[in-house]
A and B are shown apart, each in its own frame.
Chain A
Amino acid sequence: MKSSLFKRVLRSKLLPLVAVTVVVVAFFGITTNGFLSASNLRSIMISMCLSGMIGVGMSMLLISGEIDLASGYEACMGGIITALLIKAGIPWPAALLITIAAGAVMGGILAFLVNKVGLMGFISSMAMISVYNGLDYIVTKAQDVTITAEHASFYSLGAGTVGFLPIPFIIMVVLMIIYGLILYKTEFGRTIYMTGGNRAAARLAGVNRKKITSILYINNSAICALAGSLVAARMHCANAAACTSGSIDAITAAVLGGVSFRGGDGNMGCLFIGVALVTFFNSGLTASGLQSYWQIVVQGLLLVVALCIDFVNERSRQKALSQVAI
C-alpha cells in the first residue's frame, strides 16, 4: 500500500513540475537579491491571481475541449464595468454582482456563437477580442477610470491581506478548490471530462455537449469579469489594457500544468502548479533585470514548451490506451 502510493506520486505528472518550480524558485532566490523576501512573495501571490482565476474557467473549458481566447479582454471589460459602477455611486458589492452578471452575458454571446451558429470557439473568441477591445476604449475614452479613495473599502479586495495571505490569492484558491470539487465529485464534473475526451462516446452516452459547453463558457466569462474587478481594486483604476495578456497567460499556465489542450484531462492542482511556475518565472525574469522585451519572447517560448509537454503526455496516454486494448 505504502509503496504503491509512493510509486503513484513518483509517476504522477505533477512531480516533475513541482521539481521544476522548486528549481526555478531556488535559482532566482540565489541569483537575485530579495526574491524570496516576504514582500516579494506576497506580490508574486497577488500577480498569480489574474492568470490563476482566468485559468479556473479556462481549464474547465479546455477539459471540455473548448477554448475562449477573449478571456483577458472580458476581464478588462469586467474591471471597467466595476469601476464605472462604483464611480456612479453604486456600493461595491452590488457593482461586483452586476459585473459578474455582465460577464455571464459575454459568455452567453460566445456560447451562442459556438453552439447555435456552429462557429469554432477559437476564431469566434478572436473576433470578440476586437469587439471587446474597441468597446473598452470607447467606453473609457482611452483613459483610466479611477476608483477614488471614498471607496477605499473596495481596495482591500485587490491588495488586502488576511495574516500573510493576500485576499485575491485566497479568493483564487477558494475558487480552485470549489471547481476542483465540482470536477472531481459531481456527475456534472465527470461529464465535462467525457465531452472533452471523446465527443462521439459522450453523445452516445446521452451527454448534452452543447448544454455543458454553454454553461462552461458563461461560467468562464463570469469568473473573468470577477478577476478583472479584482485587478481594478488592486490598481485603484481600470483601463482598456490592464488584463489583455490574461488569456494567453492562463492557457500557458494551464497547459504547462498538464491540463490537456485537446480536452479530457487535467485538474485544478495542475492549474495551480502551472500558474505558480509561470508567475515565479516571469517575476524572476523581471527581478534579474532582463530587458522587458525578452518577456514577450519568453511568453511565446513558454507556450511552446507547454505544448511540447502536452504532446508528450498525449503520446504516452495513447500508448497506455493501446496497451489496454491489447
Chain B
Amino acid sequence: MKAKLRRMTNSKLFTLTLLLIVIIVIFEILSKGKLLSFKNIRSILQSVSVVTFLAIGCGMLLMSGNTDLSLGGVGTLGPMVLAFCIAAGLPWYVALIIALISCALCGLGNALMVNYLNFPTFIATIAMASISQGIAYLISGGKNIDMKDPTLNFIGTKRLFDFIPYTFIIAMVALVIYAIILRKTKFGRSILLVGGNAEASRLAGLKPKKISFILFVNASCMACLAGSLMCARVKTATTAGLSGSQFTGITAAILGGISFGGGTGGMMGALVGIFILNVFNNAMQLVGLSSYYQTVMSGVLLLVALIYDKIMENNRMHRAITAK
C-alpha cells in the first residue's frame, strides 16, 4: 500500500495534476473568483476541445519520436475546404470527408518527405505548413468563408444541459479511443517502442515507416477536425484559422508528460497538459493581460515544458545507469 502510494506520488501524472491545481488556485485568487465561475468553466471546456484534437495528433507523433509543425497550416486548410464545399452545396458529411482527405494528403506528403527523402522532420513540415497555408488562401481568395450548416453549427455552439459543450464531449470520446488504442492494442504499444528505439523496433519485426505514415496522416486529420470544430463554433472559416497553433499542440502534449524524444507518455497526461495550457491562457485573459502577453507566455510555457521534460529524461537515464 505504501509502495503503491509512493509510486503514485513519484509519477509524472501526479506532479502535473498538482501543478494544474496550483495554477487554478493562484488564478482563482488573482481573478477574484472569476476563474471558476459557471460561465468561465464553460468557455474553458469549449477551448479545450480544439486543443485536445491537436494534442492527440501531435502527441501520438511525439511518442513515436517525430514532430509535425505543419498542423497549424493543415488545420487552416481543412476547415477552409469544408466551408468551401458546404458553400458549394454539398451535405456536411461529404464536405467533411473531402476536407479530411485533403488534409490526409498533406500528412502523406509529410510522411513521404520524412521517410523516403530523409528530410529532417521539422523543416519538411515547416515547408508543408506554408504550402497548406498558401493553398488555404488560394481557395478562399484571401477572404473568410461563411459556414452555415445547421448540423455543424449545432454541434459547434450548443451544450448538453447548457453546460458541457458537445465539442468537448466529442473531444473526450476521441481522447478515450486513442488512450485505448495506445494502451490495449499491438499498434499502440508499437508506437511507444518505435519512439523509444526505432532501430531496435525494426529488428524486432515492427515497421517504423508504416507506423510513421499512419501517425502523420492521423495528425493531419486531427488538425482538420480541430480546425473544423472551431470553424463550426464561429460559423466562418478564417484565413488565420489555426495557424501558429502547432505549438499549442506540442506544448500541451509535452506539458502532459509526453517526452519530446519519444517513447513515453499517455493520453491521461496529455489531458492534464491540455487543461494546464487552457486554464493558464484563460486566466491571463481574466487577469486582463493583452493577447500579446499570451503569445510571450506560450513560448515561455513551451520552454518550461521542454526543460521539465529534459530533467525527467535525465532522471530516467540516471536511474537506468544506477540500476545496472
Contacts and interface: CB of A to CB of B under 8 A. Distances in A.
A303 B133 CA distance: 14
Given A304-B113, A304-B127, A307-B113, A134 B295 contact: yes
B128 interface: yes
Given A291-B138, A304-B113, A311-B117, A124 B128 contact: no
A133 interface: yes
Contacts of B290: 138
Does more than half of chain A's interface fall in helix, strand or loop, or is it mixed? helix
A248 B293 contact: no
A307 B124 contact: yes
Interface residues of B, number: 41
Contact of A307 (B117, B295, B297, B300): B117
Contact of A296 (B133, B306, B310): B133
18 contacts: A119-B306, A122-B122, A122-B123, A124-B303, A126-B302, A127-B247, A127-B306, A130-B298, A137-B292, A138-B290, A138-B296, A261-B120, A293-B138, A296-B131, A300-B132, A303-B123, A307-B123, A307-B127
Contacts of B300: 127, 130-131
B138 A248 contact: no
Select the residue from B137, B292, B297 with max chain A CB neighbours within 10 A: B292
A294 B302 contact: no
A44 interface: no
Contact of A294 (B69, B138, B295): B138
Nearest to A129: B299
Q: Which 3 A-B pairs have the closest CB atoms?
A: A130-B299, A134-B295, A296-B134
Given A297-B130, A304-B124, A304-B127, A130 B302 contact: yes
Contacts of B302: 123, 126-127, 130
A152 interface: no
Contacts of A133: 295, 299
Contacts of B303: 113, 119, 124, 127-128, 131
A214 to B, nearest CB: 18
Interface in A287-307: 291, 293-301, 303-304, 307
Given A293-B142, A294-B134, A251 B299 contact: no
A134 to B, nearest CB: 3
B115 interface: no
Given A293-B138, A311-B117, 13 more contacts: A113-B303, A123-B306, A124-B306, A127-B300, A127-B306, A130-B302, A134-B294, A248-B126, A294-B138, A296-B131, A296-B134, A299-B134, A300-B127
Contact of A308 (B117, B134, B295): B117
Place the interface of chain A in its size category.
Answer: 35 or more
A301 B133 CA distance: 12
A94 interface: no
Contacts of A165: none
A89 interface: no
Does more than half of chain B's interface fall in helix, strand or loop, or is it mixed? helix
A119 B306 CA distance: 7
B295 A297 contact: no
B247 A303 contact: no
Contacts of B137: 293, 296
B296 A126 contact: no
A275 B288 CA distance: 44
Interface in B127-151: 127-135, 137-138, 142
Interface string B271-304: 0000000000000000000101111111110110
B119 interface: yes
Contact of B135 (A129, A142, A297, A308): A297
A117 interface: yes
A297 B132 CA distance: 7
Contacts of B133: 296
A118 interface: yes
Contacts of A307: 113, 117, 119, 123-124, 127
Interface in A264-310: 291, 293-301, 303-304, 307-308
A135 B247 CA distance: 17
A131 B247 CA distance: 12
Select the residue from B129, B297, B302 with max chain A CB neighbours within 10 A: B302
A142 B292 contact: yes
